[in-house]
Amino acid sequence: MTTTTTVYTGDTIRVKGTFKNQSNTLIDADSNNVTFTIYNADSLRLVSTGSATRQSAGVYYYDYTVPAAEMKYIVELKGNFSALPQLSRATLKAKFRV
Protein backbone atom coordinates (compact mmCIF):
# COMPACT_ATOMS: atom_id res chain seq x y z
CA MET A 1 0.00 0.00 0.00
CA THR A 2 1.99 3.00 -1.20
CA THR A 3 -0.20 5.07 -3.53
CA THR A 4 -2.75 7.87 -3.16
CA THR A 5 -6.19 6.83 -4.31
CA THR A 6 -9.11 9.20 -4.90
CA VAL A 7 -12.40 8.12 -3.31
CA TYR A 8 -15.80 9.82 -3.14
CA THR A 9 -17.54 10.98 0.02
CA GLY A 10 -20.44 8.77 1.09
CA ASP A 11 -19.14 5.70 -0.77
CA THR A 12 -18.31 2.46 0.99
CA ILE A 13 -14.89 1.33 -0.14
CA ARG A 14 -12.88 -1.81 0.42
CA VAL A 15 -9.34 -1.05 1.58
CA LYS A 16 -7.15 -4.04 0.78
CA GLY A 17 -3.58 -4.86 1.76
CA THR A 18 -1.15 -7.73 1.45
CA PHE A 19 1.76 -9.09 3.44
CA LYS A 20 4.69 -10.86 1.77
CA ASN A 21 7.91 -12.40 3.02
CA GLN A 22 11.39 -11.70 1.64
CA SER A 23 10.79 -14.24 -1.14
CA ASN A 24 7.76 -12.17 -2.27
CA THR A 25 5.39 -14.95 -1.18
CA LEU A 26 2.07 -13.99 0.44
CA ILE A 27 2.08 -14.83 4.17
CA ASP A 28 -0.55 -14.81 6.91
CA ALA A 29 -0.25 -13.06 10.24
CA ASP A 30 0.79 -14.99 13.35
CA SER A 31 -2.78 -14.63 14.62
CA ASN A 32 -6.00 -13.03 13.46
CA ASN A 33 -4.85 -9.71 14.92
CA VAL A 34 -4.56 -7.75 11.66
CA THR A 35 -6.02 -4.24 11.83
CA PHE A 36 -6.69 -1.30 9.56
CA THR A 37 -6.47 2.17 11.11
CA ILE A 38 -7.54 5.34 9.30
CA TYR A 39 -6.29 8.81 10.29
CA ASN A 40 -6.99 12.35 9.09
CA ALA A 41 -3.75 13.15 7.22
CA ASP A 42 -3.72 16.82 8.29
CA SER A 43 -4.36 16.44 12.03
CA LEU A 44 -3.36 12.75 12.47
CA ARG A 45 -6.65 12.35 14.36
CA LEU A 46 -8.00 8.79 14.49
CA VAL A 47 -11.00 8.43 12.16
CA SER A 48 -11.67 4.68 12.18
CA THR A 49 -10.11 1.41 13.23
CA GLY A 50 -11.16 -2.18 12.93
CA SER A 51 -10.13 -5.76 12.49
CA ALA A 52 -9.24 -6.76 8.97
CA THR A 53 -10.97 -9.66 7.25
CA ARG A 54 -8.75 -12.35 5.76
CA GLN A 55 -9.63 -12.83 2.09
CA SER A 56 -6.94 -15.41 1.29
CA ALA A 57 -3.35 -16.20 2.28
CA GLY A 58 -1.67 -12.86 3.05
CA VAL A 59 -4.56 -10.75 1.69
CA TYR A 60 -6.69 -8.69 4.11
CA TYR A 61 -9.42 -6.06 3.68
CA TYR A 62 -11.50 -3.56 5.64
CA ASP A 63 -14.80 -2.01 4.44
CA TYR A 64 -15.06 1.71 5.21
CA THR A 65 -17.72 4.34 4.48
CA VAL A 66 -16.05 7.63 3.54
CA PRO A 67 -17.47 10.58 5.56
CA ALA A 68 -19.14 13.51 3.80
CA ALA A 69 -16.07 15.77 4.01
CA GLU A 70 -13.28 16.38 1.53
CA MET A 71 -9.99 15.47 3.18
CA LYS A 72 -6.94 13.28 2.91
CA TYR A 73 -6.61 10.08 4.94
CA ILE A 74 -3.72 7.85 5.96
CA VAL A 75 -4.58 4.15 6.03
CA GLU A 76 -2.42 1.74 8.02
CA LEU A 77 -2.44 -2.05 7.84
CA LYS A 78 -0.81 -3.71 10.87
CA GLY A 79 -0.03 -7.30 11.73
CA ASN A 80 2.60 -9.48 13.44
CA PHE A 81 4.68 -11.99 11.51
CA SER A 82 7.27 -14.22 13.17
CA ALA A 83 6.52 -12.21 16.34
CA LEU A 84 7.63 -8.96 14.62
CA PRO A 85 5.26 -6.05 13.88
CA GLN A 86 4.69 -5.22 10.22
CA LEU A 87 3.15 -1.97 8.97
CA SER A 88 2.01 -0.78 5.56
CA ARG A 89 0.57 2.68 4.71
CA ALA A 90 -1.33 4.35 1.89
CA THR A 91 -3.21 7.61 1.43
CA LEU A 92 -6.78 8.26 0.32
CA LYS A 93 -8.08 11.57 -0.95
CA ALA A 94 -11.83 12.03 -0.42
CA LYS A 95 -13.67 14.29 -2.88
CA PHE A 96 -17.27 15.29 -3.44
CA ARG A 97 -18.85 13.59 -6.44
CA VAL A 98 -19.65 16.13 -9.17
Note the pLDDT tens digit of each residue in 12-53.
999 998 888 889 999 998 876 899 999 999 999 999 999 999
Query: To the nearest 5 percent, what fractions of the chain are helix, strand and coil?
Result: 0, 60, 40
pLDDT tens per residue, range 68-98: 888 999 999 999 888 888 898 999 999 998 8
Domain spans, the chain: 4-95
Q: Look at strands 46-51 and 35-40 and give their pairing.
A: antiparallel
Can you tell me the mean pLDDT for 49-68? 93
Q: Give the span between the Cα atoms of 82 and 88, in whole angstroms.
A: 16
For the domain made up of 4-95, the CATH class stated in words is mainly beta
State the pTM of this model.
0.84
- Tell me if 95 sits within 8 A of 6, measured CB to CB: yes
**CA gap 73, 83 in Å, rounded:** 28
Looking at residue 84, its pLDDT comes to 85
Q: Which range (7-11, 39-43, 57-61, 82-86) has the least confidence?
A: 82-86
- The rounded distance, in Å, linking the Cα atoms of 7 and 90 is 13
Span 54-80, average pLDDT: 92
